[in-house]
Structure 1
Amino acid sequence: MRIAFIYCILIILFTNCQSNEYSYADYDEYYREYYTEMYSTTVMGSVKLYKLEQEFMQILKKSTIELQKQINMIQIYLKYFKRPKCSNQNECKKYVAKPLNAFRLMRRIHQDWPQWLKLIKSGNEADYIKQLENEIVPKLPESHDMLEMLKNLHRVETTYGIRVHDYANGKMPKTQSNWTLTVRDCVTMGNYGYQIHDYQRAGMWYQYALNQRPEVNGESYKQMLGDPLDHARLKYAQTILIHAEVHRNEPALAMQEIRDEVEQVLSEVDAKSINDLVNDRLHQSVTEFELNDNQTTVYNRYKHRWAHMSGCRGMFRQHTNLVCRYNFTTSPFLQLAPMKLEEISLDPYIVQYHDVLSDNEIEDLKREGIKGTMINGWTSLKSSNATENESRTIVARVAIMSPSLEIVQRINRRIIDMTGFNIEESKTIQLAAFSVGGFFMPHYDYLYDRLLDTDVLKKLGDRVASVIFYAGDVTEGGATNFPRNQLVVQPKKGSALFWYNKFDDGSPDPRSLHSICPVVVGSRWTITKWIHQDSQMFLQPCSLQPSSST
């Protein structure tokens, strides 16, 4: 009876459904409408909802823990990264003028910040993220910026012979910085030395990095930035073997051949053997890298530039028999306002004028130079030879200052008073800014045979003399070096250096060879004027080249 009743009810229900005006599109819709449990309709449904929320909260907790780890990591990094605030531009300049500060800044932005950027961008569409991507990221330094910074630091290190331990701890030849290099910084320096085949310096940097205590919160950094020592032990082992092989076989094998051979051998050796080799060297009080870091070895490696390096290192004897005096005679104006002149050398003639540029004039020049177009000054023109281009590097930012500027006209009048030369046909001057590592290798200002390749200069004649104004003091480095005369002139704000490039008969004077020592701390601002020969036709003496100078 009960079964029959249920059957009748089902028939009624089915009949009602079929006759209903609302028809379902398909069975699934129908099923959802009727068979999906509604949490709001029963107590049990609410209980299930409660449990579901509990599961969701557990997931959120896990997510919060991970996010908190990331927040903690960022807070630790920001605390470690703490640096003095620059309340004005001069304070900022003072901070980045120190080589370690400039290098660490470049390395962090180039290597570390992209990793932090990935972290904060992850799943985040906030406005400040979009601002970061649109306004900040396009301005980040590229790989060539990092490469130039490493070139500059390596140049300072090798030119002045700074020990790795001292360099890493901010000890320069004459100044001491409070900032030190991290393990990541040291490994980056080692990697650059390895890249340019300076295995001795690379080995010392790897050795120093591997001997350092673990960084505070180092494990947190590793999670985000990776382990800086991941490949350092292998690289250190490679430098040990390459360095030993170079000293044993030089010059029988090319450097690249030795490197390829060593890398092949170590790729077939087990990790324990490599670790044993590394640990053995790390425990030695003095390694072969340091034993070979003596003057003889350095001379053999850099003999083509040893005179330049000797001058920069302060190895030339001091000249004490020269005098300072006032120059009244070069122009009529000097009889009213004589200039202070210091004799640097009488043969060849090199003098330094003092207090010939005021602070206001210097600021005017810098302002005009920065406002105009300053370009990169390279060591040489780009060549079709790829090998030659590898050695090209940026040495300064330069600007050609127009003679229409009132400040340039004043400086030109001063050059006439100092030198007695005619500069009517070439009134432009060159403003240059050398930062940390900025330099110039030994060179001549005269062009001689090269003059034929330059149409403009053929009309002006060769560079008979040179004048360099120092538009600022340099904390350390940046000296003008005359290696053949064993003379070094330190930059002094407001002074000007003047010398001849040619003899009176127009032949080049090889003693005018000069260079610029790398800037160690600070910046080197200069104004350069080359005085051309053709305008001096009625001013230059007709005497012959002295026999003693040939």
Structure 2
Amino acid sequence: MKHLKILSIFIIITTTTWNVGCEMFTAVTDMEGVLETESVLINNLEGYIKAQEEKLDFLRKKVLEYQREHDSAANDVSEYLLNPINAYLLTKRLTTDWREVERVMTLDVGSQFVQNVSDYRNIMKFPTDEDLAGAASALIRLQDTYGMKTEEIARGKLNGVQFSIEMSSEDCFEIGRQSYINSDFRHTILWMNEALNRLNNDSNLNRADVLEYLAFSTFKEGRVRDALEMTHELLELAPDHRRALGNKNYYEKELMKLNLKSELRGDDGTNDVPVDDSVEFHYINNPYNYDIPERKMYELACRGELRPLDSIVKDLKCSYVDNGVPFLKIAPLKLEQISHDPYIVVYHNVMYDSEIEIIQQMAKPRFRRATVQNHKTGELETANYRISKSAWLKDSEHQVIATVVQRVKDMTGLSMDTAEELQVVNYGIGGHYEPHYDFARKEETNAFKNHEGGNRIATVIFYMSDVTLGGATVFPALRTSLWPEKGAAGFWFNLRRSGQGDYKTRHAACPVIVGSKWVSNKWIHERGQEFIRPCALEPDHDMEF
């Protein structure tokens, strides 16, 4: 139709087809493509709106034209119709013109734009429901690990830093809903309450919907009286709410049971248990065993609230070293001691930006969800306690990889003959790896069954990016944290000279709050190190495990 200009958006795919359903939340680099998707969708929506507006503009123009003629005729109908031209034009308006108007009224000018969205799903990056669940879980992970308040996160304040973004009541509701799906009723309550606090006249959210989730989650947390009060409020808003009516009867019966038990016990029937958030703790037996759970130690370390003991720090030094390597005599390494027992150091400025860029570009097309080894079967599998994507690069693939591996040899003095390939990792939204060992323990008989190098004697981790907030590598038992510094590398021995695993090397990658964390790992195995790091004549473990 000549009166309407239908806009079309064409996308030319030249080299890459996106892998739909590729778990975008597990790597921040994958989220970059989602912004491109959003940009295309915005343009498509603008085209849809423009086409609809052009259609309405055409109809508005016609109705004004017809109304003007109709008002003119209404002033003197007889005289108007006596004019043969007027009679003809009236007849034409009610035949061909109105057929054209009717056709435009029924014309679906937006169908092409709707089809565009369907087509884009096959060729562009679209998050899945799993990505939504993963992103919501990431926020909750950050909330717990860093002790952030719900209202602060919703306000855009992360770990004390205020950002410009702010969440709506609908945004908070969705996090609460995802928590509910996971039977995480404590966080459901926190986020549903925040959704209620943020309800306003501009919200599309129904207060009754929030109360339904909130009341049931409150009941599941043992607060029956509060759940009943919320259900009463819900029924005031929606008197015919079937689930609320059923829940009301059930809560009343449960409350009667609780009241009866309270009378028999002689208490007031309250079921709220005070929470002790004290962070005071003391070590028992030795400086590496504490009387609080490891999880608490891990979170304190991630927040930077856990410091090494003064008795350990006082003997640590920084120095330039050449490790007996001729080249390093003119370009010594910058070494910072982190711990003597176990041996942990950080080498600064040991990876160039140009090397990092090449390694990242090589890794991106190969990224897959990072896995962990099932200690019973020896098979690799994904796990919620490791959120990242990784790729493996061989020395022979590029001179930069070979150079980096040679640098690892110079730094550690260990043989690379049985070392694993270089693993490149990008952490996802709230990406983390909970406390774990790099070495295989005695009961893990199937660990490294496809590797002929034996156990992992040592670990080298290159930090290939700075991280704005969070993302530290922490050793809870040592009260020590390594903070990401682009170009630096951490190194530690996983095995003691006896060949036994050093349990004090248990470590974790803290969740990334803001930023993209890139690292590369080089795991060195014990075979081939017999004369480089010989076994001691006496056991060197101070504890039996």
Q: Which residue does the alignment assign to 2:277?
A: 295
Alignment partner of 1:503 is 2:496: yes
SS at match of 1:546: coil
Alignment partner of 1:200 is 2:190: no
Aligned partner letter, 1:546: D
Q: Which residue does the alignment assign to 1:525?
A: 518
Q: Residue 190 of structure 1 contacts residue 205 of structure 1 at CA under 8 Å; is this kept in 2?
A: yes
Q: How far does the alpha carbon of each residue in 1:17-70 deviate from its partner, in whole angstroms, 9 at most, with x for none? A: xxxxxxxxxxxxxxxxxxxxxxxxxxxxxxxxxxxxxxxxxxxxxxxxxxxxxx
Whole-angstrom CA distance in 2 between matches of 1:380 and 1:424: 23
Alignment partner of 1:353 is 2:347: yes
Cα drift, residue 332 of structure 1: 3.1
Match for 1:269 among 238, 248, 252? 248
SS at match of 1:535: coil
TM-score computed with the length of structure 1 as normaliser = 0.65
- The CA RMSD measured in Å over matched residues stands at 4.0
Higher deviation after alignment, 467-476 or 335-344: 335-344
Match for 1:398 among 375, 390, 395? 390
Residues 497 and 324 of structure 1: is their aligned pair in 2 closer, same or farther, counting only changes over 3 Å?
Answer: same
Residues 247 and 548 of structure 1: is their aligned pair in 2 closer, same or farther, counting only changes over 3 Å?
Answer: farther
- 1:137-536 → structure 2 map (5 Å cutoff): 139=124, 140-214=126-200, 216=202, 218=203, 222=204, 227-245=205-223, 267-269=246-248, 294-295=276-277, 303=293, 305-318=295-308, 320-321=313-314, 322-370=316-364, 372-378=365-371, 392=384, 395-404=387-396, 405-426=398-419, 428-449=421-442, 450-457=444-451, 459-536=452-529
Cα drift, residue 228 of structure 1: 5.0
Cα drift, residue 525 of structure 1: 0.3
Whole-angstrom CA distance in 2 between matches of 1:482 and 1:127: 56
Q: How far does the alpha carbon of each residue in 1:512-533 deviate from its partner, in whole angstroms, 9 at most, with x for none? A: 1001100000011001000100
Higher deviation after alignment, 124-133 or 509-518: 124-133
Whole-angstrom CA distance in 2 between matches of 1:209 and 1:298: 34
Q: Residue 333 of structure 1 contacts residue 417 of structure 1 at CA under 8 Å; is this kept in 2?
A: no
Whole-angstrom CA distance in 2 between matches of 1:155 and 1:374: 23
Cα drift, residue 169 of structure 1: 0.8
Whole-angstrom CA distance in 2 between matches of 1:311 and 1:142: 33
Q: How far does the alpha carbon of each residue in 1:359-409 deviate from its partner, in whole angstroms, 9 at most, with x for none? A: 111111111112x4111114566999xxxx996366111110121111110
Q: How far does the alpha carbon of each residue in 1:85-129 deviate from its partner, in whole angstroms, 9 at most, with x for none? A: xxxxxxxxxxx9999xx89x89x98xx99xx89x98994465443
SS at match of 1:536: coil
Higher deviation after alignment, 403-412 or 135-144: 135-144
Match for 2:119 among 112, 134, 159? 134
Q: Residue 468 of structure 1 contacts residue 528 of structure 1 at CA under 8 Å; is this kept in 2?
A: yes
Whole-angstrom CA distance in 2 between matches of 1:490 and 1:297: 22
Aligned partner letter, 1:232: V
Q: Residue 294 of structure 2 contacts residue 476 of structure 2 at CA under 8 Å; is this kept in 1?
A: no
Whole-angstrom CA distance in 2 between matches of 1:246 and 1:230: 18
Question: For structure 1, which runs of at least 5 residues remain unmatched after alignment?
Answer: 1-95, 249-262, 274-287
Whole-angstrom CA distance in 2 between matches of 1:362 and 1:147: 31
Whole-angstrom CA distance in 2 between matches of 1:350 and 1:359: 24
Cα drift, residue 546 of structure 1: 2.5
TM-score computed with the length of structure 2 as normaliser = 0.65
Q: Which residue does the alignment assign to 2:265?
A: none
Question: For structure 2, which runs of at least 5 residues remain unmatched after alignment?
Answer: 1-24, 53-106, 227-241, 253-269, 282-291
Q: Residue 379 of structure 1 contacts residue 395 of structure 1 at CA under 8 Å; is this kept in 2?
A: no
Cα drift, residue 436 of structure 1: 2.5
SS at match of 1:244: coil
Whole-angstrom CA distance in 2 between matches of 1:313 and 1:350: 21
Q: Which has the higher helix share?
A: 1
Aligned length: 401
Whole-angstrom CA distance in 1 between matches of 2:512 and 2:225: 31
Q: Residue 454 of structure 2 contacts residue 525 of structure 2 at CA under 8 Å; is this kept in 1?
A: yes
Larger radius of gyration: 1
Q: How far does the alpha carbon of each residue in 1:180-220 deviate from its partner, in whole angstroms, 9 at most, with x for none? A: 1111110011112222233222212111111224154x4xx
Cα drift, residue 424 of structure 1: 1.9
